[in-house]
Amino acid sequence: MFRDKAHSITDKWVDTLAPALLGDKPLTMEEISSLFEEKKTELLSALVTDFIGVHHQEVLEQQSAACPECGRSCKCRRQTSRRIESRQGSSKLERPYFLCPDCKIGFSPLDETLQLSGRQKQYDLQRLALDYIAEMPYAKASELFAKSTGISFSENTLHDFLANFTKDITLEEILPSVEEIVQRIAHVKGSAKRRPVLVVATDGAHLPTRPLPGRKGKRGPGEYKEAKGFRLYLLGSGNKIVQLVSWHQIQDADECAAALKVVAARIPTDQVRIALVGDGAPWVWRAMTEAFPEGREVLDYFHCSEHIHALASSQYADEPVKALQWIEATMARLYYGEVSHVIGGLKRMQPKKADAKEDIRKLIGYLGNNAHRIDYEHHRRGGYAIGSGGIESANKFICHVRMKRSGAWWLKENGNGMLALRCAMVNGTLDDAFKRYVALDQQNRFRLGTKS
Ligand SMILES: [Zn+2]
């Protein structure tokens, strides 16, 4: 039955295509492709609509149906039509509509059978949209979405869709499962004798945010807020990095610390050696040592080296060779854990300028506070990480690439929704999160009725 219908649909479609194909000039591949591209969804959506009609004929002809809420048998009221969009184009569905007199719920069994989304755009398009909006500004995402699917998804609708998708998403949902984590650890360990190193790196990245518009619709001034977050990764052979978990949100230090504890509960700590890597900020160390008391604290080598460079450039501003020599000697001492030796040298150092005096005092404090985290040679021999390049690149990849764009100022909720989406993407959990979203959407679907 479908075969006959499909043939007649295709015949009609070829007729609409014919004038363009039968011109005087032979067509190039590019011209042929663009002609078919233009008409492609017309054919596919007609086929899809007809296939549904044949495949679900019984549902379309049914005269009574059970209310999805109370189970009462209801009579068909009338035929209603509804437009749906999928990757195969736009289809208009004519189907019977029922109303439960007890629950006042209107429903269409066809929608239930097809497990349609309450939105006009069906789940395949919604899933694709997430891939686009995770990577680029809404305007660009909307443009490329239309180009690749032939279906328009406006900037505003994309925006609302993401807000809806992420509004109930929790940290637990975007973390890999315990089984998955155990599997990744075993994979990295391979046949090695030593347990692999798990790097826990915590940091903040500044993001442009703005407050909610006031009552008169005026935007308040924007400000940079810190997206605090962490990344956990395994060090594989050849220093290959195997991602476990990333989580960044515009949040305070306590919220970040609480989130890290949730992650720690999923880590089989007896199967890894743990390196806690961070810069000098006290909240970072508090969060990490509370979540992983057994971890080894490592002051990020690059941050440490930045502090050394900063003093060199104020103390030896006019003597670049001397500056370089001092940096190299100091970093070598720090590498071998000779922190007290370096501090002794700083105490004897004669400041050449007024601001160098203050810089020396600060560096002494910084090295003194972090002395137990600086034994790099020892860390390295143990196979631990000494730099948090991993968190720096996570910040860049998760936060900056998508969120620091000219003119983009984020409301906290929207910014956190976007961060959650990008974290799910790098954690490899976006497909699972989407499945849960679909299941939830299905539970509420008959209440949404014909909402577009
Ligand atoms: Zn009912």
pLDDT for 281-312, tens place per residue? 899 999 999 999 999 999 988 888 889 999 99
Instruction: State the distance from the centre of ligand 1 to the C-alpha of 92, rounded, in angstroms.
Output: 27
Instruction: State the distance from the centre of ligand 1 to the C-alpha of 114, rounded, in angstroms.
Output: 20
Tell me what pLDDT residue 390 has.
57
> Is residue 253 located within the same domain as residue 346?
no
Instruction: State the distance from the centre of ligand 1 to the C-alpha of 449, rounded, in angstroms.
Output: 14
Query: How many Å apart are CA 36 and CA 352, to the nearest integer?
Result: 75
Instruction: State the distance from the centre of ligand 1 to the C-alpha of 435, rounded, in angstroms.
Output: 27
- C-beta separation of 423 from 247 below 8 A: yes
Instruction: State the distance from the centre of ligand 1 to the C-alpha of 59, rounded, in angstroms.
Output: 19
- The enclosing H or E element of 201 equals strand 197-209
Instruction: State the distance from the centre of ligand 1 to the C-alpha of 112, rounded, in angstroms.
Output: 15
> Is residue 319 located within the same domain as residue 351?
yes
Tell me what pLDDT residue 85 has.
96
Of the chain, the percentage scoring pLDDT greater than 90 comes to: 57
Instruction: State the distance from the centre of ligand 1 to the C-alpha of 434, rounded, in angstroms.
Output: 29
Query: How many Å apart are CA 289 and CA 373, to the nearest integer?
Result: 12
- C-beta separation of 114 from 49 below 8 A: no
> Is residue 307 located within the same domain as residue 290?
no
Tell me what pLDDT residue 392 has.
63
| 443 or 420, which is more confident | 420
What integer is the mean pLDDT of 234-261? 89
Q: How far is CA 333 from CA 343, 381, 417, in A?
A: 11, 16, 45
Instruction: State the distance from the centre of ligand 1 to the C-alpha of 97, rounded, in angstroms.
Output: 14
**Which of 357, 386, 415 is the endpoint of a domain?**
386
Q: Is residue 213 predicted with pLDDT exceeding 80? A: no
Instruction: State the distance from the centre of ligand 1 to the C-alpha of 67, rounded, in angstroms.
Output: 5
8-state DSSP, 25: S
The model's pTM: 0.85
Write out pLDDT tens, residues 53-88. 999 999 999 999 999 889 999 999 899 999 999 999
> Is residue 191 located within the same domain as residue 315?
no
Range of the structural domain that residue 369 is part of: 301-386
Query: How many Å apart are CA 279 and CA 387, to the nearest integer?
Result: 10
Handedness of CA 245, 251, 253, 259 (dihedral sign): negative
> Is residue 191 located within the same domain as residue 254?
yes
Helices (H) and strands (E) counted in the chain, each on its own, are 21, 9
Using DSSP's 3-state secondary structure scheme, residue 374 falls into coil
Least confident of 82-86, 180-184, 280-284, 381-385: 381-385
Domains of the chain: total = 3
Tell me what pLDDT residue 214 has.
67
Instruction: State the distance from the centre of ligand 1 to the C-alpha of 441, rounded, in angstroms.
Output: 19
Query: How many Å apart are CA 189 and CA 235, to the nearest integer?
Result: 9
Tell me what pLDDT residue 146 has.
94
> Is residue 186 located within the same domain as residue 329?
no
Write out pLDDT tens, residues 115-124. 999 899 999 9
Tell me what pLDDT residue 147 has.
92
> Is residue 276 located within the same domain as residue 422?
yes
Q: How far is CA 262 from CA 35, 198, 250, 252, 290, in A?
A: 54, 16, 17, 16, 11
Instruction: State the distance from the centre of ligand 1 to the C-alpha of 78, rounded, in angstroms.
Output: 17
Write out pLDDT tens, residues 321-348. 999 999 999 998 988 888 999 999 999 9
> Is residue 11 located within the same domain as residue 33?
yes
Residues with CB in 5 Å of ion ligand 1:
67, 69-70, 72, 100, 102-103
Query: Exposed, middle or buried, 144 (CB in 10 Å: 0-12/13-18/19+)?
Result: middle
Q: How far is CA 390 from CA 229, 240, 244, 309, in A?
A: 12, 11, 12, 21
- Give the Cβ contact number of residue 251 at 10 Å: 21
Tell me what pLDDT residue 220 has.
67
> Is residue 259 located within the same domain as residue 341?
no
Instruction: State the distance from the centre of ligand 1 to the C-alpha of 100, rounded, in angstroms.
Output: 5
Least confident of 310-324, 392-406, 409-423: 392-406
> Is residue 272 located within the same domain as residue 184?
yes
